[in-house]
Every structure is written in structure tokens, then in C-alpha cells.
Chain A
């Protein structure tokens, strides 16, 4: 997402007809604002857009030749896109040391960088096995498990509700993220927070693996303080059908609950896609800038935006 945002902004520069720097900046800002508002979950997107804008601002400070500047920006935008993959490899290499031989690891949902890290660890001849949460509603955990099995890593899919059940067997929890906020907290697929809480309760290390271009300038105070917070993002697609099935079973049972009790329309349903994990639950962040403590994130952000 952040890469896509940068790509589109680079595209914009290419077609921009602005003649002055400020006009140019204005158009970029407008565009990024548009981008942000166009999607429901704008967090990672805004990380990319903000980063690029900041880069543009900084570059434009000491530039006299406008055209050359444009050229340069376009180039570096392209380079960044290319580098995105390289960055992930770097993180994976850095993160391998966190996986001990004979370890059991719990991961959540699907994240390219986590996948890469685990594959890298397997290539280092480290023996470990993985539990993957199913992570409804997207069910991306199944995708992760498939990839891991293909790489020869034993993976087990568990229900999101079974995290507490397996945590005792687990040695470490690894998650990716859509964004890292200023205090070092994570924004990630729904369920991450509860995973972190369970890990903390069981005293298991909770590692976030993340590319540094996902650092965002946000300071959420609670779960509902996110730009993504919209109460009813998604409907429960299969809630209705499931209710129907259950009622079928119910008819046979003694407690014959009437079908109208399951009238879906009467429920208030909430299905958020992301949640916010406060920094105190995170042991360490493994990024392309090196391993950071959650408090180190703000430092990196200050370096960039100050």
C-alpha cells in the first residue's frame, strides 16, 4: 500500500504541469489527501504518502532547478519501489536470529515480511514449527499456512479463539503490521491486540516485523482513535446463513428456539478490520533500520519529520 501510494504520486509528478514549486507541492498534497480518503483503511497508504511528501519538501529546500528536481524525485521514487523487496530481505536476515532452534512460533494473518523471515530461517537450517491463526474475517492465515507448507515448514492453523489455548506451547509471537505509530504501537489486522495481550500474560516475547516506510505520524490514544475507525465497516457475509444452519439444528434439539430470534437485522454487528496494539505489549520491533524498542520508533520519526 505505501509503495502503491508512492508510485501513484510519482506518476502524478510525471504528469504534473505545475510551474512553481509551491503549486507543485499543493497538487501533491491534494493528491495524497485524495488518496487517503479514497480507501477505507488509509493507514499504510498515508504512511507512504507522508513519507514521499516529506521527501519532496526536504528535497525542494535546496533546489534551484525545478525540472531537475522533478527528475530526481521521479528517479528516487522508482528506486524506492525497487528497494521495497530488498528491504524485506534485510529485515528477514536481521530477524532470523530471533528464531531459536526447535522453537514454536505463533504468527497472525498474512504478512510478506514475516513469511520471508520464516523462509529465511528455514534456509538457515533452523528447525521450528509454526502456529498460524486463521484470522477471520479475511482468513489470510490459510494463505500463510499454505506458503509455509510449501517451504517445508510445519504449520498448524488454529482458530483466532484458540490463541490462549496454544500460547503455552509457543516460544515467540511474530506479527507484521500495516503501520507503526509514533509511540511504537502497531496497527495491524484485527486480532493482533488480543494476541499481544495473551502473549504478555503468558510472558512470551512479542515481535513486530516491519518495514520502516510503514512508520506513520499518528498518535492514537485508544482503539477508537484511528482514522480507520468506522463502526460498521463490513457486514458479516455469512452470519445469515450460519444462523439458518444453526436454527436447523436447533429445531431438532429440545430447546426449540424460534427462527425469528435469529433475525439478523436486529443485531448490531461490528466488524473492524484493524486494531491498535499499544507499545507496552511489544517486546521489540525488527525493522530495516535495525532492531528497535517501541520507544525507538518515535526517535526515527522525529529524525525524519523534524
Chain B
């Protein structure tokens, strides 16, 4: 493709066809086991499939072409799209599903998209489970104006401010954005998960040099809406190891010096955007929709065909043809779909009730998500759980918080489900973990196939193995364990646990205390031995220093001292360099500054060989010189030590002339940390000295 045609084509395209790419697969398993039956983007949020929210947002933005990238359950998604209103003649955009069955990550999907050459200009990359009322067209304009200023701009990420522990923030995964305060250029990105706790992050010093106003922010909800330039796809293709768009791509671009591309953040202030990342955010976003933060995307706008919601006081949304008994009580934030019947003395608060749900007398429902065609018989009680389509609760069932009942599960009668129980009609095959633990993505696909097999198997040999004790005599359903918990990654399991529905912050608090305590200990001293890396090095240096001190005071021989140091070094698995950094200054500290020259000579002839034991090559010698120089550059008095000590070290053959010359011509020897004028002074001294030395030879 010639560059000229490309640029002109882009200009025309920018006005004619705005494209959007919807990622209809999440590449994680947070919604298991429900996602065994249905892809996440078709799960209902407030009785509307999630993808509708995303498409609605794109329709408002004036998008003309939408590519839906799907992997798991691609047939279901395709069917849904082809029968939806978006596929009709009056749809605001053309909608094209693309199936990528081999893709294992977002990176793969985008590489495949790049291979198809469908995208012709700036496009919107959005996850299929985003709920938003943002006017993306404005952000797109902002992206374009920014691009005119900064030619290297390739992406704008949309983020929304939200305080820590905000309900709409995922506890499991969050991100730290480092921004230029003025331009909102994103200069560094760090993903931060709850487990393991991240305690440090490494940033390039250049960041501070280039930007006068740097903000490190942890108060963003990442909306997973990106405005991308076309180069993004190419970059994915070039760097085939990029998997995740944030952890790999954004991190990679920002830390790479070679590419020189820039990424900006767009902070949304007065609009709403959030992504259903896990069950916890599913809960939060449902509440946000019911509290109308997403206006005009609220149930009573009836954006879906056939919807007939009406708003009633107390944030109650009721569709037509709902029959309520006289004595039932609806609390705040309740939405009820049509065809639902609610019997006497039912209490419902903070809940979503789907269509054609049958709720028997004396049922209590709080914070539950009850999807379509569910039957709940008398005297049940449900709190903060999800009941998928066609679930049946027999009489007197108590569902405690955090439960997840997948499609067609039957429970009861007279059963109390413990908290955080996950049930599905699919039998979880625990064996396959053995033969296939290596690749998580692979596992997922296998599992899908497996699930289908299981279904077939189940049809043949009918429900033989239900746990009657757990789910009752009429019950149908298998327990589901998040299998990652017994596989390698414990942290991942914990993260998943945090993100389950109704996971209380109170449960979290003790881990929180721990983390703050450790942060303090790091800063203050070494009282608590922490197994972490940075403190390791600290302890090592301290011990080396002590060993050297002891050698001085007790008058060890060089051999013994070096043996001791070597054992120490090996025990803590550190390099010679680390040891040198401690040892050289310690030795130089022994020099009596009153009788400078004599003392230097004495000390170094005694202990210089110890340095020699830690120096093996020419590079080591140069490095040792730098350490020496660094020490000497600290104060004026120290600077006087440099020349004599260098001479002595040369004389006792610890440092050779080649090393000195290399050091001398190295740029770093002319200036560095500390006082630059001392550096140059030292440099000059050495000039005289070393030339003399060399001449003398």
C-alpha cells in the first residue's frame, strides 16, 4: 500500500464510515459456570442483554460499521445479532460478526482482524459488556484534535473517576495510570491486582524529565473503551506476544523506547461508563442502572423492542402485565419484567426480577438477580445471589449470599444453600485438569467441548449423581468449583473470590491491614524480616558491611574475609557487584583523613587485595572504579582520597591500566550522581595522575 493512497483514503473514510470493534469474548472465567451455557455478552443486566448496552452506546456515537468479534458460543451470538433490531434495514449501522475460534487472547483476535484488512481508519475498540451513556463521538473528536498535535498518538483510553472501594470498581483488578497532568498523556501503566499485592512499580526516570506535572492515579475505573488508530492492529501483529490489551499492549508501548508511540487517557466526568468485569461489578452496575446513573439508558426508556417499563416512586421499574398481590412489599431499586406473578406477603428489595417469574407466598428476596422463567415456591428466602433462567426453587429453600445457580438448576425442598455455592447442570470434569493444566485458554475451549459431551452423556444416563444432601431430593445440579483454586495460581483464585457476588469488604479488611503494615515496615527499618526482594538486598548489604567491619577490627586475613563474603554472597544469591558496592566504601572509610596520603596507602595495601578478590575481569575493574569514584564524589574530603587510592590499587595490581583508561574515556566518569564539580575535579586529577602513570611505565 502506497502511503499517499493510504492518507487520502483515511481522510475520506473519517467522514464516511466510523467503525467500531466489539470484543464479544472476555477471555476469562469470572462468570463460570453460567458462561458454560451463554456467552457473557448475552447475559441479562436489568433484563436486557449486555451487548445491547454496548451497541446502544455505539449507535448514539454515530458508528456506521460494527464488527463483533466472537469466539466461545459464536453461534449464539451470531443468531442473536441476526434476529436483533440491529440487523434490520433501519439499523443505524452495519453489523458484521467475525468468528475467531482459534484465538486465545484479545491479542490473537486483533491480529486476526488485522489480517482481514477490514479496518480503514480510527476505530472504537469496546468490550461487549460495557454499559455507558458516553457520547463517544465527542471523545473521538478529542482524539482527532489530539492527533493533530501529537502525530505519534495511537490510542485514547476512556477512564472514569471513582474513589477506592467504589462499588463499580472491580476489587480483583484495577490499574494504576500515570498521566501527564496537563495533556493527560498516559506515560506509564501498571495493572494492579488485589493478590498478589503490588508494592512497587518501576518507572523510567525519563518520565519525570519529559513531563513537569506527573500524576499517579489509582482512582480510575477502566471503561475498556479505546479509540484506536489503525496502527494499533499493526502493532499487535508485529508483537505477536501481546495478549492483553492493557497488561501487554499498553504497558509494552509505553515502556518501549523504540516505538515512540503515545497513548492518552480521556477522563470522563459527567457521563457514565463501566464494564461488567465480574460478578461484583455486575451487581454494582445493575444498581447503577436502577439508580439512573446511566440515564438515558434506563429501563423506562424502553430501548429494547417490546419493553414496557414504567418508573414508579422509589426506583421501582415495573413492566406491563405484572401481577402483584396486595400484601407484597416492593422496596427500593426493584425491576420486574412482564408476565411475572408475585404472591402474598412477598418482600423484594434491591433486586432484578426477570420475565415470567413465579414467586410464591412469603418469599423474601434481597439483592438477588433472578432471570427469566424462574419459579420460586413458598417460604423461600434469597439474598444476594444470581438465579439464571429456568431455575426452580422448591418450597422452603434458603439461598445464602453469593450463590450462583446456573441454567435449569432445581433446588429443594427444605434446603439451605451455604454462601458462595455455585451450581450448574453441567458436571464438572475434574480429571481433565491433569492432562491439561498447562494452557488456560486451551482448557477453556476443551471445556466447552467437554461441556457439550457431558450434556450428551447426561442425556443417556440420567441424573445419577446429584448430591441430594446439598440440593434436596428433587434437586438437579452439580456443584461447581472454580478449578483455578486447586491449580497453580493461588492469587488468581483469590482474585476470583473477591470478585464473586456479595463478597463483603469486611471479609477483606484483615488482608488490608496486613498490606498497610508491610508498607510501613519497608519504609522504617528491618525489624520484620520480609521475604520480599528489595529488603533482601538491604539485609545482604548490612551483613556484608558487618562482615567487613569485623574483619577490620579482628584483623582477619584477606583469605578469611573473602571466604566469608563469598558465603554470604552465595547464601543470598547476589552478585559480586552488589558485594563490591558495600565493600569498597567500607574499606575507604578506614582511611584517616588527617594523614591522608599515608593512611590511604596503608589501608589499601592491607585491604586492597580483598577488593581484588571481588574483581575478576576488566569490566569488573572499571565498575569498581565507578564505585570508588561515586564514594569519593560524595564530599570534598573524600575527593582527595581518589588519586592516592587509585595509585595504590594500581600498584598492588588490583586495577590495571586498561580498566583505568576505559573508565577514563567513559562518559559517565565525567558526571553523575552527586556533585558534578567534584566529578570533573576528580577526572582532572586522574588525568594528570594516570598519564604520569602510563608514562612511567
Contact = CB atoms under 8 A, between A and B. Distances in A.
Contacts of A127: 324, 326
Interface string B295-312: 000000000000000001
Nearest to B327: A127
A125 B323 contact: yes
Contacts of B323: 125
Interface in B290-338: 312, 322-324, 326
Interface string A152-184: 001000000000000000000000000000000
Question: Number of contact residues on A: which range applies?
Answer: under 10
Nearest to A153: B326
B326 A101 contact: no
Specify the main secondary structure of chain A where it touches its partner: loop
Contacts of A101: 312, 324
Nearest to A127: B326
B321 to A, nearest CB: 8
Specify the main secondary structure of chain B where it touches its partner: strand
Nearest to A129: B326
Interface in A123-164: 125, 127, 154
A125 B326 contact: no
A125 B322 CA distance: 8
A154 B323 CA distance: 17
B312 to A, nearest CB: 7
A192 B326 CA distance: 29
Nearest to B312: A101
Contacts of A154: 326
B158 to A, nearest CB: 40
A292 B75 CA distance: 57
Interface string B78-90: 0000000000000
Interface string A103-132: 000000000000000000000010100000
A171 to B, nearest CB: 12
Nearest to A125: B323
A281 to B, nearest CB: 27
Residue from B312, B324, B326 having most chain A Cβ neighbours under 10 A: B326
A125 B324 CA distance: 7
Nearest to A100: B312
Interface string A66-85: 00000000000000000000
Nearest to B320: A125
A125 B318 CA distance: 12
B148 to A, nearest CB: 55
A65 to B, nearest CB: 53
Contacts of B312: 101
Contacts of B326: 127, 154
A125 B328 CA distance: 13
A154 B325 CA distance: 13
Contacts of A125: 322-324
Interface in A278-304: none
A203 B326 CA distance: 27
Nearest to B314: A102
Nearest to B329: A102
A216 B323 CA distance: 41
Given A127-B324, A154-B326, 6 more contacts: A101-B312, A101-B324, A125-B322, A125-B323, A125-B324, A127-B326
Interface of B: 312, 322-324, 326
Closest 7 CB pairs of A and B: A125-B323, A127-B326, A127-B324, A101-B312, A125-B324, A154-B326, A125-B322
6 contacts: A101-B312, A101-B324, A125-B322, A125-B323, A125-B324, A127-B326
